[in-house]
Amino acid sequence: METYGSLVAAGPVLDALGDPTRRVILETLRTGGPCSVGGLAEHLPVSRPAISQHLKVLGAVGLVRHESRGTRNIYRVHQAGLDELRKWLDQFWGDALQAYAEHVKRTDEERR
């Protein structure tokens, strides 16, 4: 079943985003651009080691990437990491649009 396969593929991303701190980290990187752990710590009431652990989880599912700059790692959002989640969510839009089209067709037929 294709829908179930999409859900399975999106599952790790959904699990990673289930934590509010990880969502804030991802949003901070999305809106503020690439950042170090120290830079993220300035925006969050979380320790640097905790941020590093959250970034490790986000990285494991492909939502963030990092590059080394000297002794620091700079993290950024990896857009392709959202692809499986986007595919799964797009199915809901497809279903909604189909239901709307059927409703319009039914309403149009009832008017005639």
What is the pLDDT, as a whole number, of residue 1? 46
- Token reading at 19: 């934590």
Residues of the chain with pLDDT under 50: 1
pTM of the entire predicted model: 0.77
Checking 64-67 for CB contacts under 8 A at 24+ apart, the result is 64/25, 64/26, 64/29
Please state, in angstroms and rounded to a whole number, the distance separating the CA atoms of residues 38 and 73. 10
Domains and CATH numbers, the chain: 2-111 (1.10.10.10)
Please state, in angstroms and rounded to a whole number, the distance separating the CA atoms of residues 8 and 13. 10
Q: What is the DSSP string of 5-54?
A: HHHHHHHHHHHHHTSHHHHHHHHHHHHH-SEEHHHHHTTSSS-HHHHHHH
